[in-house]
Amino acid sequence: METGMRAPDFTLEDKDGKKVSLSDFSGRPVVLYFYPKDNTPGCTRQACAFASAYEEFKGLDAAVIGISRDSVSSHQRFAEKYSLPFILLSDPERQAIEAYGVWQEKKNYGKVTMGVVRTTFIIDEQGNIEKIMEKVKPDTNPAEVLEYLRSRA
């Protein structure tokens, strides 16, 4: 993936089983963040940080979408437990995860596995990738995204 490319469209189920496509958000910026797993420490901190800043994202007319391989029911529990106001999409088949190139080799305690590398994409109003933030830190990623969105306004 590179900036300036057309963002790959996808259709996945949200926490309520409703189908959501990237193209549904045409005409507004989209913050698309990929994360490894619901209810893990880093992913929970990142989701809660996005939730805390959600009103600011809304004020900038930006949609926030989180994607992981977790099931619809896992997303539902995760969203309820932490009062997450934004969209969580379930991608168990890795449709979007692979299209965006975030399914990669990871090293954990010397062991090499495949998994989702925490990455955030900012997609412009025309559906193009405007910015890619790789290997983001869960605690600071939402603030960095907001700072970027404010600078482009």
Strands 19-21 and 30-34: unpaired
Helix ranges (H only) for 1-108 are 41-52, 54-59, 72-82, 95-99
Per annotation, catalytic residue among 30, 32, 43, 116: 43
- φ/ψ (deg, to 5) at 7: -70, 130
Q: Which two tokens stand for residue 62?
A: 């930006």
43 given a catalytic annotation: yes
Q: State phi, psi for 52 to the nearest 5 degrees.
A: -65, -35
As annotated, the active-site residues are 43
